[in-house]
Structure 1
Amino acid sequence: MFFLFFTATSLQTHTTSLNLLISATDNMVFSAPLRILLLCLLHFSTRAVSEDVDPVILQRIITRFHQNLGLGQYTVVFRVDRNICLENSTFPDQNLLARVTNTVQSNGVYDEDNLVAAKAYPNQHSEYRLRNLLGNILNVPNQCVVYFSVNSPCLTTCLSNGPYNIQANLVGLRNYEGIKALAFRYIWQHDDKQALKNRLNVIAPHLPNYLCVINTHRCDPL
């Protein structure tokens, strides 16, 4: 008997190889235990690389941002170590919150390699102000990326096919190789929940979407 051990990162590296191996052996004869072993490795490798954010931890992180950035529409996109999205931590700490708050409340765009943030500005939605700033965040795989907006991206502008849409950002988030989530406090008041779900599924299928209602213990899948 033998045992195989893989980290989440190494499992991601081997997923493609396992797929190819199983495909190549479809017409070959293997003992039942060996074939089961191969299928189990593929199953657990897929589970490892598609791990979801902990909804309780997500709510705590969003609450810290919300307590400092206050009322009004704003968007924050950040990348952190995957463990921060799975275990309790001090993220975001007070120093980071102070920097982000000072910039955003002055109508500026906070832009660092692992976090960008902005609030709505006349004639510009907060999501749209960040549309060209996600490259550095999405370029580092195997971590955790969260796209948080107070209100859900609206159907008539952000999720439309018009000139101010953010579809490319959502597709990029969907394709990110690591933990990822789109989250918001409220569904935009002029939109219908089911219509929003349908549109998000068209733009970015299988992207985890969460509704993080204020004063609740956890975020819930949309």
Structure 2
Amino acid sequence: MASVVPLRGLVIFLCLLHLCVQGIQDVNTVCLAKMTQYFYDKVQPKTKEGADAQYALSIYLPPAYCVDSKTEIKNKFDNDDAAQVKALLNKGAKCVLCTEPKNVIASRPVLIDKKNTEHSEHVLLYPVGKSPMDKLLAKTREKDSCVVFYSYNSPCVKTCLQSADNILEGLRNWINKRKGKMNAFVFQEIWQKDIDEDLETEFKKIDAIVPLYRCMRNSQQEMKCRKCVDNNVVVSFCLPNRK
């Protein structure tokens, strides 16, 4: 019996080590680049003037789709599903598990009244406990999912991050339900009105809750992604290009 105790201790140690490794595993930026390019090509809604419109989308996928660069997101979110989501967004409607796999939620900003708009990220994350995000998370299985939250623009500082109606509690609700799992918050463009804001401080607020990434097209129109915070420093890739 004496040898059982050390063996049991070893088993517990290995289990804890496995959970730690799971908890710190980063999403592959090549996978994120492929996802973001697909969202841009297949889902991106337009304004009446034909410009790219702000929207947010969240999807859950098998973990391989977040770590194996050979995977193709269209196998879990195909062209027909993407077209369905895009059509809803272009009509001003939202998608709450609207596709057959029931693995996607998406929304554009929602007009509350003539002066106020609920931002797209907030639409998906609230009300906490009954949000579209909560419905999406209820569909995920603990051990075999990766959840990616994508916003075309970075969350605006004034409303999304600093106001009493900010999105941070919604992000915490998401991560509290998925501790130790693969999660990523991704944005593409810097919100134009935030160019002169202290984005380093604001982006750290998000990254302290969920890993923050930026994906954007380079001069060759290739989508590239980077993790935004490294050793508590926000990398220049995720900040405005001030000339």
TM-score (ref. length: structure 1): 0.74
Matched, 1:137 2:143: no
| Contact 1:211 1:221 (8 Å CA) reproduced | yes
TM-score (ref. length: structure 2): 0.68
Q: CA RMSD of the aligned region, Å?
A: 2.5
Q: Give CA deviations for 1:81-135 in whole Å, capped at 9, x if unaligned.
A: 1122222224331011111011111100111042110112442211122222111
Task: Look up the SS of the partner of 1:77 in the other structure.
Answer: strand
Looking at structure 1, the residues matched to 82 and 148 of structure 2 have their Cα atoms a distance apart, in angstroms, of 16
Q: 1:160: Cα distance to partner?
A: 2.3
Looking at structure 1, the residues matched to 54 and 212 of structure 2 have their Cα atoms a distance apart, in angstroms, of 18
* Amino acid of the structure 2 residue aligned with 1:86: V
Q: 1:36: Cα distance to partner?
A: 7.8
Q: 1:147: Cα distance to partner?
A: 0.7
Higher Cα Rg, which structure: 1
Matched, 1:101 2:86: yes
Task: Look up the SS of the partner of 1:73 in the other structure.
Answer: coil
Matched, 1:184 2:187: yes
Matched, 1:195 2:184: no
Q: 1:150: Cα distance to partner?
A: 0.6
Q: 1:49: Cα distance to partner?
A: 4.2
Q: Percent identity at matched positions?
A: 23
Looking at structure 1, the residues matched to 155 and 89 of structure 2 have their Cα atoms a distance apart, in angstroms, of 19
| Contact 2:36 2:223 (8 Å CA) reproduced | no
Structure 1: 4+ residue segments shifted above 3 A = 33-42, 215-218
Q: 1:188: Cα distance to partner?
A: 2.0
Which of 106, 117, 120 in structure 1 is aligned with 2:106? 117
Q: 1:206: Cα distance to partner?
A: 4.8
Q: Give CA deviations for 1:110-169 in whole Å, capped at 9, x if unaligned.
A: 110421101124422111222221112223323111110011111211112423x22222
* Amino acid of the structure 1 residue aligned with 2:203: K
| Contact 1:187 1:193 (8 Å CA) reproduced | no
Q: In the alignment, which residue of structure 1 is the partner of 2:114?
A: none
Looking at structure 2, the residues matched to 168 and 97 of structure 1 have their Cα atoms a distance apart, in angstroms, of 29
Looking at structure 1, the residues matched to 153 and 187 of structure 2 have their Cα atoms a distance apart, in angstroms, of 6
Structure 2, unaligned runs of 5 or more: 45-51, 112-116, 229-243
Q: In the alignment, which residue of structure 1 is the partner of 2:149?
A: 147
Task: Look up the SS of the partner of 1:207 in the other structure.
Answer: coil
Q: 1:157-172 alignment to 2 at 5 Å?
A: 157-163=159-165, 165-172=166-173
Looking at structure 2, the residues matched to 195 and 49 of structure 1 have their Cα atoms a distance apart, in angstroms, of 24
Q: Give CA deviations for 1:25-69 in whole Å, capped at 9, x if unaligned.
A: xxxxx98x9988865553333103442221111111111111123
Structure 1, unaligned runs of 5 or more: 1-29
Q: 1:1-222 alignment to 2 at 5 Å?
A: 39=13, 42-70=16-44, 71-87=52-68, 88-91=71-74, 92-112=77-97, 113-122=102-111, 123-130=117-124, 131=126, 132-139=131-138, 140=140, 141-142=142-143, 143-163=145-165, 165-175=166-176, 176-177=178-179, 178-189=181-192, 190=194, 191-201=197-207, 205-214=208-217, 215-222=221-228
Q: 1:187: Cα distance to partner?
A: 2.4
Judged with a 3 Å threshold, the aligned counterparts in structure 2 of structure 1 residues 41 and 192 are, in CA distance, closer, same or farther, namely same
